[in-house]
Amino acid sequence: MADDKKVSDTETNADCGVCDRPVRKIGVLCGLCEGWFHVGCEKLSKDDYEKLTELGDKSHWFCKTCRSKFKGMKKEIQVLREDNKALKNRLEAVEKRMDDLQNDIVRDIKEKVIEEIREDEEQERRKSNLVIYNLPEPEGTNAEEVGDIEEAVCQQLFEQEIKVQEVAVVSVKRLGKPREREVRPRPNANAAEPGVADKPKPRPLLVKLIDAKTKWTILKNCKNLKYTQNDIFKYVSVTPDMTYKQRQEDKRLRDELRRRKGMGETNLYISKGDQAINENGRMVLEMMEENDLIRINDTPMCNGTYAWSRGNQRSAIDLILANREAYNYVQEMFIDEQKELYDLSDHNLIKLKLKLNERKPNFNKGKLIQKDFYKTDKDSMDKYVDELRQNLERAEIADLSQLNMTITNCANKTLKSTYQKRTDPKIIL
């Protein structure tokens, strides 16, 4: 334009935005569309024009068209402000929830760590201890004399019955409060006659040894107790001193041991608190669980249990496994336990009858597909929150769609990952 002033009383070489005629004398410049207008066309009063003239560059004037547009923009800006405020509140709520979750996770981890430390300390304290059950309690009131007798009886038990020599006993202690004698009526006696006082069941005896190696040597040789001729030790049993967590695990192992022995496995035992099985057996169990396989030996379709025998020993060591689709074609399984069909090996013959069509099956190995997923672990979520916070601080969010786009971009950048997977293979008959 010929003149940068916002008001003019001379010719401007510009046409009026209303009447399209040149603005030769009195005119005003719109601060938004930058168009010139006749004062009369815009119905601007003389006083207003003089005030604009006095203010000069400090003044801002807008034409009717821009003022109408500006009113609509004010409403949109107000809506955007309200939306931004609501989004800010939602983001603060999300951040607070994430902080709470982080605190909960830290608290849970801390509690678990403390629990594990206490468990380790308790196991360390008990690692050299034994508990003896059903060992008769000596009579007497002098604790020192009773303790000496208990130690002597323990030495007799370890050396003469369990066959472990030179056992160093640090201390012995009965667990629990002393039990009172139970009085029962005499057989064929009058009610007035005094009853018979039965001796109470002996309390467990806690024995602290010099080291854990001696403890496990004694436990390993406890099988010798079944040959004892001494009535004192006839019903005695010896166990390690275990924490509550160890007792729960021991119960689980013994239940598993009974279950698997019931299935015919004979090479199993519990050693030092862990169930000992051969490595091949462990691999088979893990493979069945990972691949959802069915052990046909356990199904009603199987006739027979033991796939191996030698003398009086038997075991269900040979297994037939199938996935769920192949299992539908199994008709019958037979284990020749009597060796009527084959008697040249200690492994028994296994026959499997399948229901198959005559035509050759076609194996479809499946398609390789790619899938996206979003990580939810703590480290990834922390990175996502930091990235989102930085983006929100840098960006000027004008509307809800821009905010959603910012959130999506941050999630794709920090949380999104991709993996490949092959669809399930199939046998087409």
CATH of 7-64, one of 3.20.20.70, 3.20.20.80, 3.30.70.100, 3.30.40.10: 3.30.40.10
- Interatomic CA distance for residues 35 and 58, integer angstroms: 18
Residues 6+ apart with CB under 8 A from 162: 218, 221, 222, 224, 225, 238
- Residues 168-197, buried b or exposed e (16+ Cβ, 10 A)? ebeebebeeeeeeeeeeeeeeeeeeeeeee
Q: Phi and psi at residue 237, in whole multiples of 5°?
A: -135, 150
CA distance 172 to 132: 10
As given in the structure block, the two tokens for residue 228 are 């004892």
Q: Is the full-model pTM beyond 0.95?
A: no
Q: Angle, nearest 10°, between helix axes 400-414 and 378-394? A: 140
Provide the residue type at 77 as one letter.
Answer: I
CA distance 125 to 159: 25
Please report, in tens digits, the pLDDT of each residue of the chain (429 residues total): 334 456 665 566 788 888 888 887 778 888 888 888 888 888 888 888 888 888 877 778 888 888 877 777 777 778 888 888 888 888 888 888 888 888 888 888 888 889 999 999 999 999 999 999 999 988 877 888 888 899 999 999 999 999 999 899 999 999 988 877 665 565 655 555 555 556 778 999 999 999 999 999 999 888 888 888 888 898 999 999 999 998 898 888 888 877 776 655 555 666 655 555 555 666 777 788 888 898 888 888 899 888 888 777 777 778 899 998 888 889 999 999 888 888 888 899 999 999 876 555 566 666 777 878 778 888 888 888 888 888 877 777 777 777 778 888 888 888 888 877 766 665 554
Token pair for residue 401? Answer: 């769609």
Helices and strands: H and E segment counts in the chain: 9, 22
**82 closest CA partner among 404, 400, 401:** 400
Q: Sketch the domain layout of the chain as residue ranges.
A: 7-64, 75-113, 129-176+200-241, 278-355, 364-428
- Specify which residues 368 forms β-bridges with: 422
- Cα angle value 395/400/403 (rounded, 5°): 35
On the question of a common fold for 7-64 and 129-176+200-241, the answer reads no
What is the DSSP secondary-structure string of 359-410?
Answer: SPPEEE---EEEEEEE--SHHHHHHHHHHHHHHHHHS---SHHHHHHHHHHH
Q: List the one residue out of 313, 309, 304 whose CA is nearest residue 333.
A: 304
Q: What is the CATH number of domain 129-176+200-241?
A: 3.30.70.1820
State the CB neighbour count (10 A cutoff) for residue 246. Answer: 16
8: number of Cβ within 10 Å: 20
